[in-house]
Amino acid sequence: MAHLPGTSIHLIADLKSGSGLADAARVEAALRKAAAAVGARLIGIHVHGFGEGLGVTGVALLAESHISIHTWPETGVAAVDLFVCGKDVDAEAGLAAIVAAFDAAVTRLHHIARLQAD
């Protein structure tokens, strides 16, 4: 990885949204905006739509780890995680970009410090 552990944060967020959750292009755009907001170097984005009106799963691979979005338009929810390493990245800004992209509300949020020395 491009950055050694030590400042690794993993945000785990459940979202509620009424719009865009079945739209693979919107998921891809949200991943790009989130990666930019984080300040990460994007390695690749992979998005898969499960069919008309159904959910979308998407992952952005970063030099600083990853961002994922999984959506269930049937129930108006999305599961997001942002795992980023390094001093110059801002996971919270990435989450805010995803929330804005879907006009969503965060219903549950966990902050997990990863790979910390004991």
Binding site for a copy of itself (CB under 8 A): 1-2, 4-5, 8, 10, 12, 14, 43-44, 46, 48, 50, 54-55, 57, 59, 61-63, 65-66, 68, 70-72, 74-75, 77, 79, 81, 83, 85, 107-108, 110, 112, 114-116, 118
Which residue, 37 or 83, has its beta carbon nearer to a copy of itself?
83
Q: How far is the CB of 18 from a copy of itself (least distance, A)?
A: 16
Rg (CA), the chain: 14
Yes or no: say if 34 and 58 are a contact pair by the CB < 8 Å rule: no
